Amino acid sequence: MVKLPYRQQKLEKVMDQEGLADEEKRMRRSQHARKETEFLRLKRTRLGLEDFESLKVIGRGAFGEVRLVQKKDTGHVYAMKILRKADMLEKEQVGHIRAERDILVEADSLWVVKMFYSFQDKMNLYLIMEFLPGGDMMTLLMKKDTLSEEATQFYIAETVLAIDSIHQLGFIHRDIKPDNLLLDSRGHVKLSDFGLCTGLKRAHRTEFYKNLNHSLPSDLTFQNMNSKRKAETWKRNRRQLAFSTVGTPDYIAPEVFMQNGYNKLCDWWSLGVIMYEMLIGYPPFCSETPQETYRKVMNWRETLIFPPEVPISEKAKDLILRQEPTFCSCVSVFCCEEEHRIGAVGVEEIKANPFFEGVDYDHIRERPAAIPIEIKSIDDTSNFDEFPDSDILTPTAAPEADLKNKDWVFVNYTYKRFEGLTARGAIPSYMKSSKR
């Protein structure tokens, strides 16, 4: 008996599960065969920048930008992440952008943004990702003063499942923050790294903060602000920090700054900080400077407090922070010592927390999102900030000599995803009822 190829085995299994009639199975097999033929053709074709039309800049960072693009032969819309090779080399980011590419190749989950292609030219690296028109959680939080506990429960529950999907692959995200929580067309969460300052940026280098730990006075003015003024100041500075090489250490677990190593539990600390921000209006360690934020993170036992003027439930507080000093290992929360942190015995421990009472994890992506997303067309960018155009796609001769001898570090960067192939000019199912 001839063994079927893996993708065809997968198709047969799905069709059996769906209980399809023989005629429907025949049509599916025929469609699959055409797709395989097209994939073989695509693998032999060199994909390049000329295959895409740039529509708009939708994100910008220290090392590159994200553009909304349309593939010329199919009309499909994607988010193109562009990273300058010279910057990757200068900032020692090569290993981290390679890791990101490899993770996106391996991850095949509803909870992770999908990468369809990756390629390069002399100047840049390109990641062709699915375009998620809902924007990111950072933008949503900047539009709102706070989120309700019901909305917070929804987004945190979905992010728990998203983070767990990465952990199951053996990866630690290490950079969980609102910037990296994207929202699809229906308002559901997908995990990504669209902050553009990926990997070991300066915000993650312990010495950057340790060297300044005693050099600057504490921002007493900020500490004495009420919650409303803190939220206003935070939002005013937040966007600038997101797009800088320094970044912000607000969401980073204290053990990540230490020299003793860390594990996947650091991602659950970050989620606790995001939950606090959703409910209070700003993260617990926010300050006027990243250095002061670092000091607050490292002294979290004294600095992580709930402002009395912003009332939230005890269930919410008890998931973020242990309310009374205790050494009981049965009391697990997001923001605490690593050895007592919730999630240490598995994700089920988090899902069973009283704060998530009533959450149907098996069908959460099928329910309406807590905050609906309005999408008017397949290229709707209304949920993104406005950015001026740039010259990142304009060839420049200056760095080419330097890059020529170092281009070997980007070998085998190219990738094409089989699942990215659909009918020519097809529109994603979620857009079929939308008016252009």
Phi-psi region of 149 (alpha: psi -120 to 50; beta: other; left: phi over 0): alpha
Q: Do 182 and 388 touch, CB atoms closer than 8 A?
A: no
Kindly tell me the sign of the dihedral angle through the C-alpha atoms of 170, 320, 154, 144. negative
Q: How far is CA 226 from CA 221, 233, 234, 287, 290, in A?
A: 10, 11, 12, 13, 20
Buried b (16+ CB within 10 A) or exposed e, 32-50: beebeeebeeeeeeebebe
Kindly tell me the sign of the dihedral angle through the C-alpha atoms of 333, 334, 336, 340. positive
Tokens for 362? 């098996």
- DSSP 8-state class, residue 319: H
Q: Do 77 and 127 touch, CB atoms closer than 8 A?
A: no
- Is 228 labeled as ligand-binding? no
**Known catalytic residue: 385?**
no
Q: How far is CA 373 from CA 68, 188, 243, 382, in A?
A: 18, 9, 25, 10
Residue 128: strand, helix, or coil: strand
Residue 188 CA to residue 181 CA, distance in Å, equals 10
Residue 125 CA to residue 117 CA, distance in Å, equals 11
Active-site residue, selected from the candidate residues 136, 164, 175, 179: 175
Q: What is the 3-state secondary structure (H, E, C) of 190-224?
A: EECCCCCCCCCCHHHCHHHHHCCCCCCCCCHHHHC
Tokens for 18? 């769906």
What phi and psi, each to the nearest 5 degrees, are found at residue 413?
A: -85, -25
Q: How far is CA 81 from CA 55, 78, 187, in A?
A: 13, 10, 21
Tokens for 121? 């030219």
What residues act catalytically?
175
> Which residues sit in the known binding site?
81
> Which residues sit in the known binding site for ATP?
81
